[in-house]
Amino acid sequence: MLGTAEVTMLGRVVADPEVTKTSGGDVMKLRVAVNERRKNGEHASFYNVDVWNEKNQAALSKIKMGEPLLIFASMSTEQYEGKSGDKITATRLRMEKFRFLGGSKDEESSKGSKESPRESSNEPW
């Protein structure tokens, strides 16, 4: 039986998107931080998200560092051999769709409240 692994992620963009040309087309790479509350305080996890869909790439092309996103992605895992000969397991996230959630942290703190979600005609749904 074939299955799929899907991820829903709420995080902030921590770097400007980078576009790389590949034989399969252009891929945009996003770096996203997700903060979690734990018993000993907050913990940030960082994820690389690949964006292959041209419509999503166009909508995300002007996103700024610090902006929050709700991301829906598929997840896959692959193994390869590193330079030192060690086996490395990498988890890949491929964005399927997303939603803008408002401004950057600085914009939110200066307004004193969270903004309502931004509407965009470029959103994939």
Do the Cβ atoms of 35 and 43 come closer than 8 Å?
yes
Q: How far apart are CA 15 and CA 67, in angstroms?
A: 10
Which domains, ranges and CATH numbers included, belong to the chain? 6-107 (2.40.50.140)
Is 38 exposed, middle or buried (CB count within 10 Å of its CB: 0-12, 13-18, 19+)?
exposed
Question: Which residues pair with residue 98 across a beta bridge?
Answer: 71
Q: How far apart are CA 63 and CA 58, in angstroms?
A: 10
Per-residue pLDDT tens digits for 42-99: 999 999 999 998 889 998 888 888 999 999 999 999 999 999 999 999 889 999 999 9
Per-residue pLDDT tens digits for 23-44: 988 999 999 999 999 899 999 9
> Model-level pTM?
0.72
Phi/psi class of residue 102: alpha, beta or left (left: φ > 0; alpha: ψ in -120 to 50)? left
